[in-house]
């Protein structure tokens, strides 16, 4: 594995899931593989889980992890080639990334979308410029359109919570929110679930919240949430803003919030969310505080997902 930007960087999803689960049962089994190596974690946006779990994962493999909060502590970066830098940006990624490539063995970067211009966001300029100029492996800690470490975690969590000899029914449901959010988690979850092929996958959302077909192709899609929830084994709850008329909130009907009453339609489903979650807006207290919720287990699994990915990159890149 050279970089980890999307599911397309993974040759065998199931093998990566198994690798992560092995780390869960024996976190320090490869504690020397990263000796004398350094990973730089670059944050252009806030984070709790991704930041801490990736540091812990690197340290479990013997690596030193250094966090750089770029927008709070560093110079403002320019990403456009041939930009005339007479505005607010101070240093071009073309100059900064090769330096970081000399300081570190792996770089990991979080860059959210602007939600202003779809073409710009979906071009993934920031992370592509990093890959182009850093000269070392790059891991996405969430980019403009995808969140692959979250999605790997989600596959791991589904795997360890389902043992029946059939495919689980997994439902991704849109949920209300107070502000427009990126499509990253929903795009990425759809892309991974479809590539994994181990589930019956249904997406449900109100009209106007269609995601990019590039990621959802292969899923059943319905605007009838109750129909979608019927006999579900897992319900993944997530808000996203509109994709077509980009970055907007249209319908924000509170009736779309998942409740214990709606869960009666399911096969006693486990409920997932990437977190952070707005309680009683996206998901009700009665679910989050019940045995249906596996959100803490899911977030804890972020360590093992990151550890499996860093191990793959260390092994592939010497």
- Enumerate binding residues for ligand CP (CB under 6 A): 47-51, 142, 150, 274-275
**Residue number, 143 or 173, with CB nearest to ligand CP:** 143
Q: How far is the CB of 46 from ligand CP (least distance, A)?
A: 7
Q: How far is the CB of 231 from ligand CP (least distance, A)?
A: 27
The DSSP bridge pattern shows strands 200-204 and 77-78 to be unpaired
Handedness of CA 51, 53, 58, 60 (dihedral sign): positive
**Residue number, 272 or 274, with CB nearest to ligand CP:** 274
Q: How far is the CB of 70 from ligand CP (least distance, A)?
A: 15
Q: How far is the CB of 251 from ligand CP (least distance, A)?
A: 24
Q: How far is the CB of 64 from ligand CP (least distance, A)?
A: 20
**Residue number, 30 or 139, with CB nearest to ligand CP:** 139
Asked if 23 and 29 count as a contact pair (C-beta separation under 8 A), the reply is yes
**Residue number, 29 or 278, with CB nearest to ligand CP:** 278
Q: How far is the CB of 66 from ligand CP (least distance, A)?
A: 17
Q: How far is the CB of 157 from ligand CP (least distance, A)?
A: 12
What single string gives the DSSP state of each residue in the chain?
A: ---BSSGGG-S-HHHHHHHHHHHHH-TTTTTTTTTT-EEEEEESS--SHHHHHHHHHHHHTT-EEEEEEHHHHSPPEE-STT----SS--EEHHHHHHHHHHH-SEEEEE----SS-HHHHHTTHHHHHHHHHH-S-EEESS-SS--HHHHHHHHHHHHHT--SSSPPEEEEEE---SS---SHHHHHHHHHHHHH--SEEEEE--TT-PPPHHHHTTSEEES-HHHHHTT-SEEEEE----TTTTT------GGGSB-HHHHTTSSS-EEE--S---BTTTB-HHHHTSTTB-HHHHHHTHHHHHHHHHHHHHHH--
**Residue number, 188 or 266, with CB nearest to ligand CP:** 188
**Residue number, 17 or 141, with CB nearest to ligand CP:** 141
**Residue number, 112 or 122, with CB nearest to ligand CP:** 112
């Amino acid at each position: 594995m050279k970089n980890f930007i999307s599911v397309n960087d993974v040759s065998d999803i199931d093998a990566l899931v198994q690798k992560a689960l092995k780390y869960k049962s024996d976190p320090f089994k490869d504690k020397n593989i990263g000796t004398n190596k350094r990973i730089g974690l670059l944050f252009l946006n806030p984070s709790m889980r991704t930041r801490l779990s990736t540091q812990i994962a690197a340290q479990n493999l013997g690596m030193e992890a250094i966090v750089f909060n770029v927008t709070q502590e560093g110079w403002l970066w320019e990403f456009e080639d041939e930009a005339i830098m007479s505005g607010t940006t101070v240093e071009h990624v073309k100059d900064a990334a090769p330096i970081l490539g000399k300081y570190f063995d792996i770089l990991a970067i979080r860059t959210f979308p602007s939600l202003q211009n779809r073409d710009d966001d979906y071009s993934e300029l920031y992370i592509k410029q990093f890959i182009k100029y850093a000269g070392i492996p790059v891991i996405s800690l969430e980019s403009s359109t995808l969140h692959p470490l979250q999605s790997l975690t989600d596959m791991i969590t589904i795997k360890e919570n389902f043992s029946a000899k059939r495919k689980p029914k997994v439902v991704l449901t849109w949920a209300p929110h107070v502000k427009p959010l990126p499509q990253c988690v929903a795009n990425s979850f759809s892309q991974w679930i479809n590539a994994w092929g181990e589930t019956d996958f249904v997406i449900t959302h109100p009209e106007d919240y269609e995601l990019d077909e590039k990621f959802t192709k292969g899923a059943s899609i319905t605007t009838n949430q109750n129909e979608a929830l019927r006999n579900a084994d897992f319900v993944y709850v997530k808000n996203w803003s509109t994709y077509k008329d980009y970055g907007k909130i249209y319908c924000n009907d509170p009736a779309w919030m998942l409740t214990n009453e709606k869960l009666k339609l399911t096969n006693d489903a486990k409920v997932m969310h990437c977190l952070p979650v707005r309680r009683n807006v996206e998901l009700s207290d009665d679910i989050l505080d019940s045995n249906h919720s596996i959100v803490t287990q899911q977030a804890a699994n972020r360590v093992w997902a990151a550890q499996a990915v860093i191990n793959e990159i260390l092994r592939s890149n010497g």
